[in-house]
Amino acid sequence: MLHIINKSPSDRNSVEAALRLATKGSVVLLIEDAVYAATRGNTAAAKIQAAMADLKIYALKPDLETRGLADRVMDGVSLVDYAGFVDLVAEQPNCQSWL
Amino acid sequence: MKFGILVNEGPYTHQAADSAFKFAQAALAKGHEVTRVFFYHDGVNNASRLTVPPVDDRHVVNRWAELGEKHGVDLVVCIAAAQRRGLLDDNEAKRQGKDANNIHPAFRISGLGQLVEAGIQNDRLVTFGD
């Protein structure tokens, strides 16, 4: 399952909720303002770090770059472009957007 | 693979309309099929043919229309969400006794059945919204 999250952890609880409910082996993609959750020292950093044991975490690189955050990404978070976003949707059996 | 896309947010709001468009573009570029984009809630505002952004800005509506025409993507606007927000095509404007219509001809009005169908007939349905 691919979990797509698009809001900052300072704005909504969708990052926290998705990490809590995602099952082991699932994939999380942070897009739009949710890319803040992929940066070092953000409010959800500890939760993201802990989740990496069971989940694969990706962030959309163009959205990090738009926000000037591309050099602040936490270790262990993989970056994808839109083509990589499409691949993640295709590879996973289903996807859920946390709106 | 066949993709359906659901857009729940209006243009020039946050980022969902842009993300959805870029995702559709990337999927088509990779040889996938995007069969339908369904515009729901404030997403119906993506279909207004009267949209006039500044000349140096992206034209979200025309951009969808061109994508739809070039790649045969069915651009469907939820009728109830559209009417609530004052978006009418020619037929609906006549039926409702209104003096104007504003839905871009590349889009068509239909109902939630088309959203359900997009979920059934495609391999993936990807949602973008607020």
Helix segments in B1-130, DSSP class H: 16-29, 60-71, 79-84, 90-95, 112-121
Q: What is the mean pLDDT of residues B89-114?
A: 97
Grade residue B104 by pLDDT with cuts at 50, 70 and 90.
Answer: very high
From the list B48, B56, B58, B49, the residue with the least C-alpha distance to B19 is B58
Q: Which residues of B64-91 are buried (b: 16+ CB within 10 A; e: fewer)?
A: bbebbeeeebbbbbbbebbbeeebbbee
Domain of residue A76 covers 2-98
Q: How many domains does chain A have?
A: 1
Q: For residue B112, what pLDDT is reported? A: 98
CA distances to A68, B3, B121 from A60, rounded to whole Å, are 13, 19, 27
Domain of residue B116 covers 2-128
Choose the closest CB to B23 out of A33, A86, A99: A86
The mean pLDDT of chain B is: 98
Grade residue A18 by pLDDT with cuts at 50, 70 and 90.
Answer: very high
A89 touches chain B (CB under 8 A): yes
Write the ipTM. Answer: 0.97
Q: How many domains does chain B have?
A: 1
> Residue B34: enclosing H or E segment and its boundaries?
strand B33-39
Other CB atoms within 10 A of residue B50 CB: 11
Task: Express each pLDDT in B33-63 by its tens digit.
Answer: 999 999 999 999 999 999 999 999 999 999 9
* CB within 8 Å: A83 and B15: no
Q: What is the CATH number of the domain that holds B103?
A: 3.40.1260.10
Q: Which amino acid type is present at position B19?
A: S
Using an 8 Å CB-CB cutoff, list chain B residues near A64. none
**Minimum CA–CA partner of B17 in chain A:** A32
Q: What is the mean pLDDT of residues B68-85?
A: 98
Distance from CA of A95 to the nearest CA of B (A): 7
Q: Which residues contact B10 (CB under 8 A, 6 or more apart)?
A: B17, B42, B43, B44, B45, B46
Q: What is the mean pLDDT of residues A53-66?
A: 98
Q: What is the CATH number of the domain that holds A27?
A: 3.40.1260.10
